[in-house]
Amino acid sequence: MSDDYDWIDVHHHLIPNFYVKALAEKGITELSGVPIPTYNPDQCLKDMDKVGIDKAILSIPASGLHIRHNEFFRHLARNTNTYLADIIREHSTHFGALASMPLPNIDAAFEELDYALDELHLDGVVLLSNSDGMYLGDPELEDFFAELNRRRAVVFVHPDDPPFADMRKPDVPVVHIEWPFDTTRAVANMVYSGVLDRNPRIKFILPHGGGAVPYLAWRISILEYRQRDKVKKLRSLYDLIIRKQGPSTGMRLLKNMYYDTTAVTAQSSLRTLKELLDPSHIVLGTDLGAAPRLMASLVLNDLRSFDGFDEDDLRTIARKGASELFPRLVAM
């Protein structure tokens, strides 16, 4: 299947054999209850061609890993990032890549950030919604976010199991319900902590349509006026009482992020995204590599058939946001 949109997929997983083997040696054969599939570049390119994807931003998922061995994660991140850089060199016109960070080890994350962006020239980073219970927006990450801001980095926020995932709870797979809500928790914490205010140059991508963020945008935006360390009385007075436009300052923070389309292409979901965002901040995400090719086809078919998007909207979603985020790849 093909069209003239030249889709760029920003949520695309590549899972090499050495990664699966390294986890198996630690007794891990599943991530968040899902068996770990291997997915190589040849399979990736074949699937991209079949569903009509022109380029993809690769990442290697680390969600669901709960091993308290800092050195294991440090080496795993280095090996996976080097692997992705090799793939880009071999297929520079088709792939970009996002670097894994060995958080919650902050010193190791700083070291890997420098190596991944300065030596390997990867296109951004993946941060989990929480790393062993440390949520994005945690005060311990303040300097790390400041460095990401200095670099004008692209940050893909991938969900992880919440720290209470093993507690007694409804018998629903974690990836289906808790993952989108954990993205929402991370975003709410970044608003409440002021991270988004202090680091406006970071370009955030939220998978799965931002989890529940679009639906809860008003409530999350209110946190902008009740931040952890201060209450923004004058700002809230101006936005809520004088301008009478609701929590517009907080809403602007949420609208500045980019939201991908992975697993959220029901008509009602797309309508919610369209109400919140300019189409240039909606980007294609398929989860290929972790999800079967059929799911990617469904995402693209749903986007094409949604009655709220015209041809210009689809072309914008296909490339414009990704062009702003990943100009190197788009120029190839």
pLDDT digits (tens, 9 = 90+) for 259-285: 999 999 999 999 999 999 999 999 999
CATH number at 66 reads: 3.20.20.140
User: Is 239 domain-assigned?
Assistant: no
| Residue 308 phi, psi dihedral angles, 5° rounding | -90, -10
| Residue 310 phi, psi dihedral angles, 5° rounding | -95, -175
User: Is 12 domain-assigned?
Assistant: yes
Contact at 8 Å (CB) between 193 and 137?
Answer: yes
- At residue 64, the pLDDT reads 58
- At residue 114, the pLDDT reads 98
C-alpha–C-alpha distance, residues 154 and 125, integer Å: 6
Q: Residue 197: pLDDT above 60?
A: yes
From the CB of residue 36, how many other CB atoms can be counted at a distance below 10 Å? 17
| Entry pTM | 0.94
Question: If you search the block for the tokens 């936005």, which residue do you land on?
Answer: 239
Inter-helix orientation angle 142-150/106-114, to 10°: 10
C-alpha closest to that of 82 among 112, 52, 46, 54: 112
User: Is 190 domain-assigned?
Assistant: yes
Instruction: Read off the pLDDT of each residue in 207-222 and give the average, rounded to a whole number.
Output: 96
C-alpha–C-alpha distance, residues 217 and 188, integer Å: 9
From the CB of residue 72, how many other CB atoms can be counted at a distance below 10 Å? 16
User: Is 225 domain-assigned?
Assistant: no
Bond prior to 41 in cis (omega within 30° of 0): no
- At residue 195, the pLDDT reads 96
| Residue 54 phi, psi dihedral angles, 5° rounding | -85, -45
Which of residues 120 and 5 earns the better pLDDT score? 120
Sign of the Cα pseudo-torsion (118, 61, 285, 295, in order): positive
C-alpha–C-alpha distance, residues 133 and 104, integer Å: 9
Distances (CA, A) of 322 to 53, 93, 176, 265, 281: 13, 14, 26, 18, 9
User: Is 89 domain-assigned?
Assistant: yes
Question: Given its phi and psi angles, is residue 61 left (phi above 0), alpha (psi -120 to 50 degrees) or beta?
Answer: beta
Domain span holding position 264: 7-210+257-270+277-331
Per the structure block, which two tokens stand in for 309? 């998007």
Q: What is the pLDDT of residues 8-25, one digit of tens each?
A: 999 999 999 999 999 888
- At residue 1, the pLDDT reads 43
C-alpha–C-alpha distance, residues 209 and 64, integer Å: 20
User: Is 247 domain-assigned?
Assistant: no
E-only strand ranges, 118-179? 125-128, 130-131, 134-135, 154-158
C-alpha–C-alpha distance, residues 305 and 150, integer Å: 40
Q: What is the pLDDT of residues 156-182, one digit of tens each?
A: 999 999 988 677 777 788 888 899 999
User: Is 261 domain-assigned?
Assistant: yes
User: Is 233 domain-assigned?
Assistant: no
Contact at 8 Å (CB) between 98 and 125?
Answer: yes
- Looking at the 3D structure of the chain, how many domains does it have? 1
**pLDDT averaged over every residue in the chain:** 91
Quick one: pLDDT band at residue 3, thresholds 50, 70, 90? low
